[in-house]
Amino acid sequence: MLSRTLYTTLLYATSPLIFSLLLKTKKGKPPVGNRWKEFVGICPELTNSKKPIWVHAVSVGEVIAATPIINALQQHYPELPLLITTTTSTGAERVEALSGNIEHRYFPADYPCAIKQFIARMQPSLCLIMETELWPNMLTICENKNIPTIVVNARLSEKSQQKYQRFQSLFSAPLQKINHILCQDEDDQHRFKTLGLNPDKLSVTGTVKFDIQFSDDIINQGLLLRQQLGQQRAVIIASSTHKGEDEIVLAAFEKVKLQHANALLILVPRHPERFDDVTALCSEKFPCTLRRSHTRLTDDLSNTDIYVGDSMGEMPILLAASDICFMGGSLIGDKVGGHNLLEPAALSKPCITGPSYYNFADVTAQLLNSNGAAVINNEIELANKINELISQPDTAIEMGLQAKHVVDKNKGALTRIMQKLTDLIDQIIAPTQSK
């Protein structure tokens, strides 16, 4: 049995390893630099003297999901500062692009001394945890300091549920200290109940990721890129691919090219440190390979076979320029569990995924049931599905429309989430801020 005392002891004992991972410089990722002290709770005080609402979002994906909530909080409470924490530097970069009364700090490692020092310096009035980033010491100390904690847009896969059950002696008490959990769907709610959470602390609000809105500027940039790539050709995007998956995608694309010689593949690796290696791999098979970061708006890309998406934060633009989307992280066993199909679905793109999508089981199931997505198991099935959709454009269009319909009918989570949050803020935070 792993108690919190033993867990904390192991944390301190493995500090060199933890910090080597946190501070390791990777290709394509901005360095942490002299901000490393923030990981032990030593961080600059906030410029606004009022107690902030603390929003913790681990990395880029969570920051994107949190952005509508952040914007809504600023509209409801323009006088309250927002403190956004991330664990990764790419997440920090995404936060820096946000506007308003917002400041970023790195999330301290779960050492009691670091968490206490961070809270003493930041003085948060409430902590909103995006999705399921639950740390035993952090939850315990927040309760001891009378800082309410709410998990927002919470999801709990079967695999994660089993992990928490395996370490029940460690997580049981800290989980009870959470004030409320806003679950994405009823399956998530049920899994939290099996961990012993009080049903009164659980609500189903849907996933805020359905409340997707793309600006006209993003759509127009996508259309402009499509003109560069060529209007009279099929454009397939392989989004968020992982190591070992690029080879499968490229092998499938070779088969596609046998039937559709002018087809183009946009390949977007999940991790920036892999951009160089993936580009080299693509160039071996397809000499006409270009990187987005190496091209200009005036370049003619109509003869390109592979276009490597190596720029951060531009996935919607690349999706908007495409006809068909394959979502990565789903063809390499159960190591990853897939990625979110909602962005291509919101752009009316027919979606293809591998068999491993447990991290987004509910969303993917809805898309499959509506014929807005398809599951393939290997490179041959991937090639066949892409060829089918290219050869039958009406089928591809209808599939994309069905995917968009799933997104539209699930909108509204943001409204439900904000109703819950504003109730708590009005009861606990607003009175103290006005004194």
Instruction: Write out the catalytic residue numbers.
Output: 62
Phi, psi dihedrals of residue 207, rounded to the nearest 5°: -100, 130
Tokens coding 301: 């890309």
Please report the beta strands in 158-259, taking only residues with DSSP state E, as ranges in sequence order: 180-183, 202-204, 235-241
DSSP for 294-324 reads G--TT---TT-SEEE--STT-HHHHHHT-SE
333: left (phi over 0), alpha (psi -120 to 50) or beta: left
Between CA 184 and CA 94 the distance in angstroms is 23
Nearest to 54 by CA among 146, 181, 150: 150
Q: What is the DSSP letter of 335?
A: S
Nearest to 343 by CA among 56, 78, 61, 135: 61
Give the 3-state secondary structure of residue 202: strand
Torsion of CA 428, 433, 59, 167, to 10 degrees: -30
Sorted by sequence, the CB contacts under 8 Å of residue 221 that are 6+ apart come out as 317, 320
